[in-house]
Structure formats: structure tokens, C-alpha cells
């Protein structure tokens, strides 16, 4: 029972990576707005079932403030995330989610004057080294070419922006949880997100919607949605059982799983250097979020 949170965190990592891989498959000939919407939509039934049995916590202004501020940022991150999955390999997009704690450190340093610990500094170095190794094959064109290659991969750039946004929404989410409960926030947040994203998805996918519904392409998002809802539930329960930093560290195993999926299901090339780079970025992530 002591390590139930570890098991749940691993489930969260596996289901997120699986949902991403299945979503990328569905994106091959589909509009990203519609794909993002249906992934959310198919996750709602399980979340509603959870919500029915959850105790309703006493909510205050702090909860509503964090909730409302996070939603528009989450929508932007969602669209960028799905676009990144569509246009670039999993092995060159998912690892950049490791940058979230780096941005958190930079933001806290600017806003609060907080300094980076030695452990956190090592973590940043590992993430930087990992991002370099992802494009190591470019080094034949110059020692700085791997970093320049990042700017040429649109999906990588989009995921860097997602990581930046997540550095803000994770702080807002923590505030909302402190003023409610992990499961209540997680279920209500993604249900409301789905409702608000509906008109945006229908407008963004208006040119493809008729064909999309006629050919019933949305059926390919059923399993991504189910896996996504399991991810949300296991994430929130695990977070209520241990320190957030520990839980997130294990959940980011999804980066490694995603790279493996990229190799086996999408035949992505240069798997050794990409897996090595992803592993270094993951270790850097762990160093930062567990730094005292």
C-alpha cells in the first residue's frame, strides 16, 4: 500500500504515452482540432462517473481564480500539443516536455528571486545535453548544428512552447488542488475544458467536419480518449498519495515510452540517439523536480 502511488504513476505514464501514440496515428489524415476534441470527448464518460462518487469540497475564490486562469492556457497548449504530434516524430517532440521544470525555475527566479540548487543546476545541464543528443547526427555540419536543427523541427518548437505553458498551468493547477482536492479538480477541469473547447474545435475543423463525421473517423479516437481518462484519474489519485514532484518524475517515463512507440509503430529513425537524448532529458527532469 505504501507504494500504490508508484504503480498509479506508472499507469499514468503508460496511458499518456499510449494515448499520444494512438492520437498520432489518427492524425495522419485528420484535422488536429477535431482529433483533440474527440480525444477529450471520449475521456468524459469515465471522468463523469468518477465525479458522481466524489465528495464535493468547499470551494473558495482561490479555486475559481486558478481554474479560470488555467483554462485558456490549457486550450492553447492542447492545440499546440496535437499539432506537434501531427507534424513531427514522437521521438523529437515528447522529450521536450522535460523543459517544464526549467521554465518553472526561470520564472520563479525572475518573479520570486529564487535561486537554482546544485541538483537543479545539474538537471538543467542534463536536459540541455539530452536535447543536443536528440539531433546528434547533425553535428557533422558543425558542433552547434544540433541546436540549430531544433529550430528547424516545427514539432519540437511547438512542444517547447507547450512546456512553457505547462510551467504556468502546473502552478495554477497546484493552487486549485490546494483549494479543493486532486480528484475533484482533475475531473471538473477536463470536463469543463471539453465543453469550452467544443466550439473552438468545430470552428477550427469546419472545413473537414462534414467528411470527418461522414466517414466516422472519430471512431479512431475512442481508445485514445479512454486511455487519456485513465491517465487523468491515475494522475490525480497518485498525486493525492505522495509529493507532486515524486509523482510527476515517474509519470514522465511517458517520454521514454513515447520514443519506443515512435520506433516500433511509426518506424522513426535514429532511435539510439533519440532514446539516449530522451533518457538524459528525463534524468534531468527528475533531478530538478526532486531538488530540495
Report pLDDT digits (tens) over 203-239. Answer: 999 988 888 888 888 898 999 999 999 999 899 888 8
Residue 146 burial by Cβ neighbours in a 10 Å radius (0-12, 13-18, 19+): buried
d(CA 105, CA 124): 10
For the record, the C-alpha cell of 60 comes out as: 473558495
Q: What is the mean pLDDT of the chain?
A: 90
DSSP readout, 123-171?
A: HHHHHHHHHHHHTGGGGGG-TTHHHHHHHH-HHHHHHHHHHHHHHHHHH
Report pLDDT digits (tens) over 84-126. Answer: 999 999 999 999 999 988 887 777 666 546 677 888 888 888 9
pLDDT of residue 100: 86
Instruction: Indicate whether 285 belongs to any domain.
Output: no
Instruction: Indicate whether 290 belongs to any domain.
Output: no
Instruction: Indicate whether 69 belongs to any domain.
Output: yes
Report pLDDT digits (tens) over 21-44. Answer: 999 999 987 889 999 999 999 999
Instruction: Indicate whether 74 belongs to any domain.
Output: yes
Instruction: Indicate whether 141 belongs to any domain.
Output: yes
Number of domains the chain contains: 1
For the record, the C-alpha cell of 9 comes out as: 504513476
Instruction: Indicate whether 121 belongs to any domain.
Output: no
- Answer yes or no: is pLDDT of 290 > 90: no
CA distances from 215 to 100, 198, 221 (A): 38, 20, 13
Report pLDDT digits (tens) over 124-180. Answer: 889 989 999 998 888 888 888 888 989 999 999 999 999 999 988 888 888 898 899
Instruction: Indicate whether 279 belongs to any domain.
Output: no
Domain limits at 250? 4-114+131-271
Amino acid at each position: 500500500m505504501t507504494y500504490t502511488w508508484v504503480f498509479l504513476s506508472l499507469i499514468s505514464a503508460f496511458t499518456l504515452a499510449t494515448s499520444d501514440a494512438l492520437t498520432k496515428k489518427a492524425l495522419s489524415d485528420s484535422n488536429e482540432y477535431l482529433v483533440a476534441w474527440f480525444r477529450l470527448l471520449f475521456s468524459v464518460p469515465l471522468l463523469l462517473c468518477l465525479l458522481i462518487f466524489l465528495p464535493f469540497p468547499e470551494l473558495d475564490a482561490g479555486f475559481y481564480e486558478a481554474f479560470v486562469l488555467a483554462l485558456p492556457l490549457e486550450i492553447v497548449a492542447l492545440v499546440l500539443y496535437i499539432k506537434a504530434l501531427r507534424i513531427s516524430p514522437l521521438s523529437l517532440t515528447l522529450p521536450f516536455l522535460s523543459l517544464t521544470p526549467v521554465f518553472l525555475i526561470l520564472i520563479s527566479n525572475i518573479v520570486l528571486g529564487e535561486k537554482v540548487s546544485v541538483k537543479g543546476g545539474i538537471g538543467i545541464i542534463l536536459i540541455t545535453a539530452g536535447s543536443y543528443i536528440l539531433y546528434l547526427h547533425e553535428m557533422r555540419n558543425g558542433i552547434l548544428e544540433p541546436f540549430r536543427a531544433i529550430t528547424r523541427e516545427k514539432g519540437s518548437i511547438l512542444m517547447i512552447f507547450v512546456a512553457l505553458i505547462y510551467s504556468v498551468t502546473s502552478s495554477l493547477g497546484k493552487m486549485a488542488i490546494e483549494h479543493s482536492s486532486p480528484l475533484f479538480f482533475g475531473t471538473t477541469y477536463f470536463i469543463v475544458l471539453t465543453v469550452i473547447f467544443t466550439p473552438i474545435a468545430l470552428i477550427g475543423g469546419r472545413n473537414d467536419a462534414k467528411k470527418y463525421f461522414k466517414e466516422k473517423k472519430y471512431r479512431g479516437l475512442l481508445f485514445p480518449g479512454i486511455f487519456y481518462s485513465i491517465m487523468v484519474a491515475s494522475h490525480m489519485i497518485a498525486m493525492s498519495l505522495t509529493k507532486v514532484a515524486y509523482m510527476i518524475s515517474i509519470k514522465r517515463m511517458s517520454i521514454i515510452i513515447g520514443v519506443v512507440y515512435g520506433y516500433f509503430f511509426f518506424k522513426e529513425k535514429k532511435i539510439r540517439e533519440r532514446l539516449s537524448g530522451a533518457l538524459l532529458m528525463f534524468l534531468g527532469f527528475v533531478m530538478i523536480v526532486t531538488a530540495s
